[in-house]
Amino acid sequence: MTQTRSAQGRPNIILILADDLGYGDLACYGNDVLRTPHIDRLASEGVRCSQHYTSSPLCAPARGALLTGRYNHRVGALSVESNRGLDRIALREQTLGDVFSAAGYATGYVGKWHSGLFDLRHHPNRRGFAEFAGFLNGIMDYWDWIFDYNGQTRFSDGRYQTDVLTQEAVDFIDRHASEPFFLHLAYHAPHTPLQAPEEDIARYQGTPGICDAVARLYAMIDRMDQGIGQVLAKLDSECLTENTLVLFTSDNGPWLGGHNHDGKRVELARYNGPFRGMKQDVLEGGIRVPAIVRWPAGLPAGTECHDMIHFCDWLPTLSAAAGATPNGRPLDGVDAIKALSGGGSLSHVKRFWQHNRYDPVLHCNMAMRDGNWKLYWPRIPEAMVKLREDNDWAYRLVREPHRLMPVSNPPVERELSLAPTPQLYDLSDDPLESTDLAVREPERVLRMSREADAWFESVERDRVDAFRTLGINT
């Protein structure tokens, strides 16, 4: 019989986050090409979630919600433009690191941060994580990397980035095996650039239906899976497996479009489950992502959770599992432990999404879920454009160490098309979002539209206030 939390003591927590990994990028989610035996092992020994959602179809905003348990607009993490400060989490917000540090846990962050650059107040060491090894930027070379170790710069020693992050995670477990710990392992894979060890690439090259670019991307996932295997082996060797909660997920859906690789334009289109849309879309393909939770002492093995679980739910859920009490601002998430255990339902919880570049635009790339019903407003194309100079900054920090400097967010002048009319889908029958039922259900559309507008007004009010505290123009 499974022992209770109190009998086992406080669980260790390992939160593993992949980058741009989609719903179809794992064998246990239906990919029949990829080899992910260690992540599959987590699924067979834990709970696999079928309706798990990120809070945003883009990196930094998604991480802002994951770290705080609050919608990313509320905390100020609006987009990825670090030079504008749009990736930052307001300093008044409590993070997972803060919660577990206050509860007496050893806290560590390994990997990609992208939750505030250019100001040490936004460094992981100042956001609740006593130990940090990784990079602060949103993108990094896998071979010629530049890392930050608790504020000190280290340059590549020739090892593959994913392997370095794995080793840092294993070393953290080794240092803290005798005390409760919280480790956030944020892999960069399979985010571009498309780089992997040749032996891993060779495993997928020549596979029917798989182009060379996707073969490289699959090799990156394969290598990450090997690293996760090493982390799980370390837990086994230290006799920590039984009472360590391991959560694996991804920050947003996959990029399925074009990418410049070695001077050539390549396409990353691939299997993404029964969904349409991709990274940057609030269609299912951009926001529904894998989530697997293994905790032998507290959750059933080999089960599936079909409740709708959201990134905002993980801070209250992990805190409850550890007996920690968040004392920050009101959370948007709820404790999902009962749902994960098969003994509760989150069907009553409504969820909202909205994403565009720069100032948020009502009814642009916006969605709401109420039970099986989803209301969706498509993109306004002009609102999705990222300025060239903002994009250049991200790539600059691939070649140079992190620096301290002021950020500036001047208004972006743009002329927007009219907002599109909303579309309504019943996801229980139509996960592909192919049949618009808005004309058939006008009252439902009206009610959900009002609720979505009220949500947008609420988070926008908090976002403007968060920007004020961050010193960012609104």
Catalytic site residues? Answer: 59, 114
One-letter amino acid for residue 434 of the chain: S
- Give the single-character DSSP code of 260: E
Query: Measuring CA to CA, how many Å separate 360 from each of 72, 76, 288, 332?
Result: 12, 11, 21, 19
Distance CA 99, CA 314 (A): 12
Edge to edge, the sheet with strand 366-370 lists 351-354, 366-370, 373-377, 423-426
Q: 367 and 374 in contact (C-beta within 8 Å)?
A: yes
Measured over the CA atoms of residue 463, residue 469, residue 471 and residue 474, the dihedral's sign is positive
Distance CA 408, CA 49 (A): 40
Distance CA 183, CA 246 (A): 10
Structure tokens that stand for 325 in this block: 């009490």
One-letter amino acid for residue 270 of the chain: R
Distance CA 134, CA 112 (A): 6
Residue 62: what are its φ and ψ, rounded to 5°? -60, -45
Number of H helices, E strands in the chain: 13, 16
Q: CB-based contacts of 128: which residues, under 8 Å, 6+ apart?
A: 94, 95, 96, 97, 98, 99, 100, 101, 107
- Give the single-character DSSP code of 85: T
Distance CA 249, CA 207 (A): 26
Measured over the CA atoms of residue 12, residue 336, residue 59 and residue 130, the dihedral's sign is negative
Q: Is 320 helix (H, G, I), strand (E, B) or coil?
A: helix
